[in-house]
Structure formats: structure tokens, C-alpha cells
Amino acid sequence: MATASVAFKSREDHRKQIELEEARKAGLAPAEVDEDGKEINPHIPQYMSSAPWYLNSEKPSLKHQRKWKSDPNYTKSWYDRGAKIYQAEKYRKGACQNCGAMTHTAKACMDRPRKIGAKYTNKNIAPDEKIESFELDYDGKRDRWNGYDPSTYHRVVDLYEAKEDARKKYLKEQQIKKLEEKNNNQEGDDATSDGDEEDDDLRVDEAKVDESRQMDFAKVEKRVRTTGGGSTGTVRNLRIREDTAKYLLNLDINSAHYDPKTRSMREDPLPDADPNDKFYLGDNQYRNSGQALEFKQMNIHSWEAFDKGQDMHMQAAPSQAELLYKNFKVAKDKLKTHTKDTIMEKYGNASTEDEIPMELLLGQSERQVEYDRAGRIIKGQEVILPKSKYEEDVLANNHTTVWGSWWRDHQWGYRCCQQTIRNSYCTGSAGIEAAEASLDLMKANIARKEACEESPKKVEEKKMAAWGTDVPEDLELNEEALANALKKEDERKREEKDERKRKYNVKYTNDVTPEEMEAYRMKRVHHEDPMKDFM
């Protein structure tokens, strides 16, 4: 924190200040702002951000770290070249004896030495030069283009334009010369064919690269005493410049992303184009095909082998890793072949054997079997069904059918007793009847429970006179209790008329007896009664 001056703080204030600084460093609290409204980096150390006590800065600031004393003598301007300030008519004392200027001496004069100086002739007095003396600031000392006049660049442009015009003029002269020779030549068809070839030679393609540069395409140049030390070899051209750059294949913003730092484009920039017409399919296509895929598999093999305890590393010993990977592939192929041969030797190969007879494919044969009306065999031999290595038709615990002969509600069971518990004792038809009776009873109980929940039993209520209702016809009242209730009602009304007789302790209860309700009805004012004013 860029504190202004060190003041005394209590322990609690110091703790809060430290918590605020930690929150600012973590990005949970906004950064502190200086006098100019700029944010102060919370990671600046305190010995740099704290201002000296003698500056008496009341607000946080980093001005004490900047150059706050500006020297007006420093400037970024440059000398005014060739400027003259005064032209004298006769020689002046102390001036240059050669040219007559006051700004330098004869020893530092840059004019041609005269046979007789201006001191003695008083003729052709040179004007005084403009001499400036100023100190450059930090940027002015290091500015390469300080004092450069951009208007002088037109000389360079004029020079290159003159060269281009001279080259075009020379080519035009050569072309005219070739045409004159062609017109003067009358040798027939051979001369005509030679003239066509010469015309092709005259067509100069300015975009083509010089043959000498094309020959140096794969040339390796040696650089000696480089910054890195030693000599290095560099290839001049890494790709043919006529190829379109990958980021220019599709200029759509939503197309494949191009990373300029790594010069990579993972996706295909033209996914809808014909694959035969494309020469670039994206970096992912090259990573998942060819030698790149083989290199990736070799890396995975080295990682797995190292995890299993084998001493190999792809970067430390690449030759060893490649040799071990080749041996691994050979051993893997041998193991696959051996496994295949073992399976074929044990079970045979149906694809290499002779064709199966039609009688076996269709399940027909010439064997004759005769049956009686009951289905018993009279003549011939019964067809023997093939059996597996597992036990079949094994009946246990008095069951007459096997497990899995019955299916109900996604459960297997025995068909003889319809039980879904395996290895249970068979109960026969009695068990089936008992199970059905139990199921019916359970359904009846469920139906009765649902009926009870839908229609609850009505409870007869005792007829009582409630507030705001008419008096039932069968209401029975106690005469003595009714008289006491009438007295209490009269006292209550007197208290309402005279507030001085109202007691401080109010007794209130919700229990109202039928006699009190009847007394209230008798004593209340009926507004619809025409005789209410005479009561």
C-alpha cells in the first residue's frame, strides 16, 4: 500500500490494514487509487510504496518514485542546419581571417582557403552561422532519427524510379531490336518458330524469382561467432512462397482458429471443400496420421513400460525406446498368432472345412420312426437330444419342474408351485391356492383402507347456539342460569355507559354458555325494531 506517512496505528487497525492488503493482492478487493485516479499495484513492496516523511503527502501516491524534478534546460530539439543569422559587409575584429564570419576562427574554417583572406580584401564576407547549445534529455540522446528531415526521402524515391524507367527503356529497345531482326530474316518456317521462342523470352515476368535465388533454395549457410556462440546452419527458405498461407485459406471469422504464436491451425479451414483439391487439412489431420501417429504410440508405450518398472525414457534414450517398441510389436504379433492357432486347434476352423451336408443344415435324414396314437415309439429309435456339460433336468426339494420354468413379474420360479424363491420346498397346488388367497386378502385390505381414507366417518356434533346464528328449536336453557346471565349483561352495559365504573382488571374468556348467549340476544338492540327507542 502506498501510504503517505507513517502514523501510529492500534493493533486492530494494523490487523485490518494487513487483511485489506491481502484481499487486494488476491483480487478480492479493488486496488488503491492515487491522486491522479490511477490504480496502484498491490504487489509493490512497502519500502517502495511508502513515501518519505518529509514530503508530507496526505494521499497515497507513487510520485516519490518518479522523476518529479523536471529540468527545463533539457530538450528534444535538434540543430538548425545551415541557418545563417547575420551577413556583414566588411571585416570585423575577431572574425575569421579566411571567410570573415564571427562564429569561428581561421583554424576551424570549413571554406576553401583563399589566396588573400577576407581580413585584407573586405570582400565576400561569409555570413555568421547559427550556433545552438542545448542539452538533450533521455529520449533525445537515444533517438536515432532525431534531426532527420522526412522531406529528403523523396531523393531515394526519385533514384529508384529513375532505375525502373531505365530498365523499362532498355527492355523496350531490346524488344524493338529483336523485331527488326525478325522482319529482316526470311528463312521460312524455322525462322518463324525461332521468332516465337524469342517472343516468349521477351515476356519478362517480374514476379518470378531469379534463377540464382531458386538454386539457393536448399542452400545451408554458416554463421560464425553468433550471439549464441559457435556456428549454426540455417536454411534460407523454409517453404515455397507461392503457397497460400494457412490463415488466408478461409477469411471467415468463425472458421478454424489460427494461433499466430505457435503458427498452428488445428481444425480444417475448409471442411466443405473437396478433399482431392485441398493440400492442407489442419494440424490434427497430420497429428493423427502417418509417422506422427506411430510416434505417439511409441510415446505411450514408453510411459506404460516406465510405470511397470522398466528402465526406459523416450527423451533420454530415444534409440533404446524405439528398439524396445519394435520388439514389443513383434512379441505381440507372435502372441496373437499363437493364441489364434491354439483356438483353431481346439475348436477347429469352420471356414477351412468342407461344406456341411444339406440334410444336417435342414434337420432332415432318411431314418424312419413310427409312433402310436399316444405318441409312443413303435418302430425306430428315439431322437437323442444333445446335452451340454451342465446338469440338466435335476429336480430337488420335491419339485416336479426345474428352476426357470416359470416367469412372472420379472422373476423366475418353479412352474409346479409358482414359487420365486430358489431351492425352496415344493408346496404343489395347495401352495398355489394359498398364495392366491393371500394375494386376494391383501388386495381386499388395500381396497378397504383406501375407501376409509376417501370417506371419513362423520361425527355428530352437539347442537349449541353459536355467535351470529339462530337459536335451535331443541335448545334447553336453565332458568336460574339465565337470570344470572341477564344480571351480568345489565351490569356490563352500565359499565359501558359510565367509564368511571370500569374495573382495571379485565377478565376475558372464550367459554360462552347457552344461557349467556340467550341473555345477549335478549338485551341487544334490534335496529330493525320500530319500538327500539322506547325500550
Specify the DSSP element, H or E, that contains 345.
helix 318-347
Specify the DSSP element, H or E, that contains 129.
strand 128-129
At residue 232, the pLDDT reads 47
CA 469 – CA 403 distance, rounded (Å): 74
At residue 337, the pLDDT reads 95
- For residue 76, being part of any structural domain is answered with no
* Cβ contact 306:313 at 8 Å: yes
At residue 363, the pLDDT reads 60
- For residue 317, being part of any structural domain is answered with yes
Q: What is the dihedral of CA 91, 96, 100, 101, to 10 degrees?
A: -120
User: Dihedral sign, CA of 237, 239, 245, 246?
Assistant: negative
- For residue 472, being part of any structural domain is answered with no
At residue 492, the pLDDT reads 80
Q: Of 49, 65, 81, which residue sits at a domain end? A: 65
CA 396 – CA 457 distance, rounded (Å): 53
CA 491 – CA 55 distance, rounded (Å): 90
CA 236 – CA 218 distance, rounded (Å): 7
Kindly state the DSSP code that residue 176 receives in the 8-state scheme.
Answer: H
- For residue 372, being part of any structural domain is answered with no
CA 177 – CA 170 distance, rounded (Å): 11
- For residue 54, being part of any structural domain is answered with yes
CA angle 21, 24, 28 (to 5 degrees): 130
Expressed as residue numbers, the domain containing 318 is 291-347
- For residue 121, being part of any structural domain is answered with no
CA 25 – CA 19 distance, rounded (Å): 10
- Rg of the chain (C-alpha set): 59
Q: Of 451, 472, 492, which residue sits at a domain end? A: 451
At residue 167, the pLDDT reads 94
CA 182 – CA 185 distance, rounded (Å): 5
pLDDT tens for each residue of the chain, 535 residues long: 555 445 677 899 999 989 999 999 988 899 988 888 889 899 998 888 888 888 887 788 888 887 766 666 666 677 888 889 999 999 999 999 999 999 999 999 999 999 999 999 999 999 999 988 877 877 778 888 888 888 889 999 999 999 999 999 999 999 999 999 988 886 655 545 555 555 555 444 444 444 444 455 445 554 444 444 444 444 444 556 677 888 898 898 889 999 999 889 999 999 888 888 888 888 888 888 888 888 999 999 999 999 998 888 888 999 999 999 999 999 999 999 999 999 988 887 777 666 666 656 666 667 788 888 888 888 877 766 666 777 788 888 888 898 888 888 889 999 898 888 888 889 888 888 888 888 899 989 998 888 887 765 554 444 445 444 555 666 677 888 888 888 888 888 777 777 666 666 666 566 778 888 888 888 776 666 676 666 5
CA 337 – CA 339 distance, rounded (Å): 5
Q: How many domains does the chain have?
A: 3
- For residue 319, being part of any structural domain is answered with yes
- For residue 430, being part of any structural domain is answered with yes
Q: At residue 255, what is the residue type? A: S
Spell out the long-range contacts of 493-499 with Cβ–Cβ below 8 A and sequence spacing 24 or more. Answer: 493/523
